[in-house]
Amino acid sequence: MLFSINKEPKRLKLFLVAIIVITLGIIAAVFIGYRHILNQEVDLLAAAATKSDIAMGKFHHTATRNGIKEWMIDARTVRVVSAQNQAVFQDPAVTFFLKDNTKVYLTANHGILNTDSNDIEVSGNVVVKNENYRLKTEILNYLHKKRILFSKVPVEIVSASSQLTADSMTHDLNLNETVFKGHIKGVFVENIML
């Protein structure tokens, strides 16, 4: 009986030592794996930093002139590239404020703001709308000093009573005037009472 009592503590000690060694091995493996992941993330961040100075999500900016709000932009992400004086946006949404207190809304897949001029270029599923009209195109530019929207690629404008397509378009936000050029086609519906 004395022999079996001494044998049990040896097995217990051996079992506890084995558990400790296995636990330390698991902790070491997790620590080494975690350090490897951290090093990879640092490499990715360093690679991104060479192309841009700063990147962030959920961006909002308002442009004013003489204390008057002219436009504001919201975006899912922004990447600032100081060397090119640009802010590059994903899913930008721009609101233009007009003199008559109406608003024009613009959405697109991508956008570039030239930070030195406040000029904007958007591309990919570009939609511009107000309470009466909806414009669709693939590329649209905004000249901040003149407050002009223009597209050199085909546009389509739809309202409740008309549909118009053209090869290019210019819209002056100050004057609320639009000029269409090239292969202009339109359908206008008007209710005529006799």
Q: Are 110 and 120 in contact (CB under 8 A)?
A: no
d(CA 14, CA 38): 36
**189: phi then psi, degrees, rounded to nearest 5:** -115, 130
Contacts 24+ apart (CB under 8 A), 144-147: 144/63, 144/70, 144/117, 144/118, 144/119, 144/120, 145/117, 146/172, 146/174, 147/70, 147/96, 147/172, 147/173, 147/174
Assign 100 to helix, strand or coil.
coil
**For 66-106, how does the pLDDT look when each residue is reduced to its tens digit (9 = 90+)?**
888 888 888 888 888 888 888 888 999 999 888 888 888 99
Compute the average pLDDT of residues 10-35: 75
Tell me what the pLDDT averaged over the chain comes to.
Answer: 80
Q: Are 72 and 95 in contact (CB under 8 A)?
A: yes
d(CA 149, CA 171): 5
What residues contact residue 92 under an 8 Å CB cut-off, 6+ apart? 73, 74, 75, 106, 107, 108, 110, 111, 120, 122
Compute the average pLDDT of residues 54-72: 82
End-to-end CA distance of the chain: 120
**For 101-152, how does the pLDDT look when each residue is reduced to its tens digit (9 = 90+)?**
888 899 999 999 888 888 889 999 999 998 888 999 999 999 988 989 899 9
